[in-house]
Amino acid sequence: MKVEIHKLGVIEELEIDLKPLTVFIGRNGTGKTLTAYTLASILGKHGLDRYLKIYIDGETQQKYPIIDNAIKQFLQEGNVHIDLIKFAEEYAEAYINDVAQSSPSWMKTFLSTERSDFKSMKISFDLATVKQEILENVKKYTLEKKIYFGSQNKDYLNILKETGENNIYFNIISKGNFLKKIPGRLFKELLLQEIFQILHRSFYSYVYIFPTERTTFITFPFSIKKEIVRLENVNFDNFDESSHVYLDKKIIPERLYRQKNKKQSEPVQSLIEILANAYKNTTDEREKEIHKRPEIAIYEKLAELLEKEILQGRIDFNEPGLENEILFQPSEKIKLEMTVASSMVKELAPLVLCLRYLAKPDELLIIDEPEMNLHPSGQVAITEFLAMLVQAGLKVLITTHSPYILDHLSNLMKAAKYQDKESIKKKFYLERTEAFIPQEKVSVYLFENGIAKNILNEDGRIDWGTFGDISDDISHIFL
């Protein structure tokens, strides 16, 4: 997926190709993290939620006649279906570019800043290289939902999208004598929520952000408060259209939506949600998910590998109590609070928990400086581990200052070309052939002087130019 960005902070213009593993490298203040977070704001849940709201409010330029016609038919007949493949073929690129065009209006909130100005920012997406993948993701999406309404919950809106099918169906099912009707605006919001969510998640099924603040927030005890009302429990007969917005299958009072996380940026909030959701998704719940989708068992195994080979100890939650705490267990008899664990443990603990309890294929992990607090040997090992995540079906975008990551990434791409991979695996830190990543899955960009330059050559060599001159400079000071 190709992206063009203009006038974003210090960045004048850049064109990047997002691959399964994308690497941003450069000096401090060159726009690497800002670019990564901007992409997260558009491609993640925040972009979906904000776009849904402004579309419902009529504040977008893009319109979708297929949806408008479907709403009219449903209000007349009580049922309708939409061909999602046809919709995605016609509107996927227009949709994501409309989301991107609206992003300047929410970037200040997303980054929790009052002083930055995003009015001149322009972002556009070209989906030519990923269009078929997007259509396949739409087709394999599964949805089955019943939304009850009426005073006795005898009637419900049935929403169905089966795996491998093109169509999504909306039908009113009534067990009473009279067919109830759903208010037009309410049905419009419900339909838009499902259609936009399916299309949005066909790019990346979810986006997790691991900001540099993770080493601080991982040490805090946290409590989980439920302040949402599920759609299934809402009586639509008394629905007040002006007081709610729809966000990700839930109704949240508008005042909570506007006040939500005013003090924390969305990247930090993403980290907090990773920890909270990992805690809520117990081992039993994860096993149920694995039973339904056996392919996600690999992420639990990768979490164990990260613990064993790099952290040399286990990460998990304490027993449930008034506060939830994350502990590190370096041996069977020792459990440590995060406050006294090593900086490397703090650094990688959120990734362990995300993999063990949350991760699913086609999700995007955005990791700001994964080498932070890691010894050079750890930086090399984490490079192999990130490549293994990609080979296991996740997408990864990192920002980095590490020459070890780039140099070793070149090794991994060269190793992928070997016929007899087993014969060379012991040369590598994790000794896993799954870390050998094909070059076509990788893109590397150097950020400097207001632009981003592709520095991955056709032969697999990463030409990081002046970024690597520091070692030469200091080695020659007294020569």
What tens digit of pLDDT does each residue of 305-317 get?
A: 999 999 999 998 8
Domains in the chain, ordered, with CATH? 268-464 (3.40.50)
What tens digit of pLDDT does each residue of 381-390 get?
A: 999 999 999 9
Give percent of the chain with pLDDT exceeding 70: 85
pTM recorded for the entire structure: 0.89
* Residue 279: band (very low, low, confident or very high) from pLDDT cuts 50, 70, 90: confident
Q: What is the predicted pLDDT for the residue at 261?
A: 43
Residue 254 has pLDDT above 60, yes or no: no
What tens digit of pLDDT does each residue of 90-123 get?
A: 999 999 999 999 999 999 999 998 888 899 999 9
Task: Give me the chain's average pLDDT, please.
Answer: 86
Across the range 152-181, mean pLDDT stands at 82
Helix H, strand E, coil C: the string for the chain is: CEEEEEEECCEEEEEEECCCEEEEEECCCCCHHHHHHHHHHHHCHHHHHHHHHHHHCCCCCCCCHHHHHHHHHHHHHCEEEEEHHHHHHHHHHHHHHHHHHHHHHCHHHHHCCCCCCCCCCEEEEECCCCHHHHHHHHHHCCEEEEEEECCCCCEEEEEEECCCCCEEEEEEEECCCCCCCCCHHHHHHHHHHHHHHHHHCCCCCCEEEECCCHHHHCCCCECCCCCCEEHHHCCHHHCCCCCEEEECCEEEEHHHHHHCCCCCCHHHHHHHHHHHHHHHCCHHHHHHHHHHCHHHHHHHHHHHHHHHHHHCCEEEECCCCCCECEEEEEECCEEEEHHHCCHHHHHHHHHHHHHHHCCCCCCEEEEECCCCCCCHHHHHHHHHHHHHHHHCCCEEEEEECCHHHHHHHHHHHHHCCCCCHHHCHHHCCCCCHHHCCCHHHEEEEEEECCEEEECECCCCCECCHHHHHHHHHHHCCCC
Q: What is the predicted pLDDT for the residue at 284?
A: 85
Query: By the 8 A CB rule, do 309 and 374 touch?
Result: no
Q: What is the predicted pLDDT for the residue at 222?
A: 64
Give percent of the chain with pLDDT exceeding 90: 68
* Residue 454: band (very low, low, confident or very high) from pLDDT cuts 50, 70, 90: very high
What tens digit of pLDDT does each residue of 306-360 get?
A: 999 999 999 988 866 556 788 999 998 898 988 899 999 999 999 999 999 999 9
What tens digit of pLDDT does each residue of 363-414 get?
A: 999 999 999 999 999 999 999 999 999 999 999 999 999 999 999 999 999 9
What tens digit of pLDDT does each residue of 15-60 get?
A: 999 999 999 999 999 999 999 999 999 999 999 999 999 999 889 9
* Residue 250: band (very low, low, confident or very high) from pLDDT cuts 50, 70, 90: very low
What tens digit of pLDDT does each residue of 218-236 get?
A: 887 666 653 433 333 333 3
Whole-number Å distance between alpha carbons of 139 and 167: 9
Q: What is the predicted pLDDT for the residue at 219?
A: 80
Q: Which amino acid is at 152?
A: Q
* Residue 216: band (very low, low, confident or very high) from pLDDT cuts 50, 70, 90: confident
Q: What is the predicted pLDDT for the residue at 151?
A: 60
Residue 260 has pLDDT above 60, yes or no: no
Q: What is the predicted pLDDT for the residue at 281?
A: 85
